[in-house]
Amino acid sequence: MFFDCKGDFDLSEKSYIFSKRFLDISVALFALIILSPVFLVISLFYLFGDNKGPVFYQQKRVGMGHQEFGIYKFRSMVVGAEEKLYANKDLYAKFVANGYKLPTEEDPRITKFGAFLRKTSIDELPQFINILNGEMSIVGPRPVVEKELVEYGDDVDKFLSVKPGAMGLWQASGRSEIQYPERAELEIGYVDQADLWFDFKILFMTVIAVFKGEGAM
């Protein structure tokens, strides 16, 4: 295993962590500058469009070392979507049974514009802010909500021994088409194999998957 859950690192691990953080900061800064026109256009849509409300949506996720943080996304749902989910027992049961997600076409909370953002993965772009803040990395296991940790069983500490990523092996392998427990196996597999070249491979695989629209929700 590349990472020790207890936090003990050798020289090669420290070198990898330093290089990874340097790339995270460099890529996130570059991306936020280049994508600023996209952020502006989407912000204007929410200010003057039919679905007025907050531009960003922030949800609590569990990060490295079991530390909670707020993950940023462009809002793809109606205002108060989480409350509507929890209030509808049948919808919430389906949400849990489907790996803590709902297919876009079956989710009444998602707006038409939000469905487009999800299909193209544009809704994920604000996570460059989380990366710059040091809460996430470009590549790593996808961050989950607290309730999902049960899916990782005895490997939960290993899963949380690395920073979660905007892109990960599960996402690159099919995203929402792959459910638990296979998803957990893929994410733990990443922790076991993590190195810089594997990160680049996952980055390439994810870009291909996004352009093909595979597993998007």
- Strand ranges for 50-178 from DSSP E: 56-62, 68-74, 137-139, 165-167
Nearest to 56 by CA among 79, 31, 36: 79
pLDDT tier at 189, thresholds 50, 70, 90: very high
Q: What is the DSSP annotation of 44-81?
A: HHHHHSSS-S-SEEEEEEE-GGG-EEEEEEE--B-TTH
**Are 140 and 162 in contact, with CB atoms under 8 Å apart?**
yes
CA atoms within 13 A on the CB side of 144: 24
Sorted by where each begins, the domain ranges of the chain are 11-212
- pLDDT, residue 82, reads 81
pLDDT digits (tens, 9 = 90+) for 37-76: 999 999 998 888 777 889 999 999 999 999 999 999 999 9
Alpha carbon separation from 90 to 109, 148, 178 (Å, rounded):
14, 19, 22
pLDDT digits (tens, 9 = 90+) for 126-176: 999 999 999 999 999 999 999 999 999 999 999 999 999 999 998 888 766
pLDDT digits (tens, 9 = 90+) for 94-132: 888 887 888 777 788 889 899 999 888 899 999 999 999
- Single-letter code of the amino acid located at 27: V
**Alpha-carbon torsion (36, 29, 191, 143), positive or negative:** negative
- pLDDT, residue 214, reads 59
What mean pLDDT, rounded, does the chain reach?
87
pLDDT at residue 18 tops 80:
yes
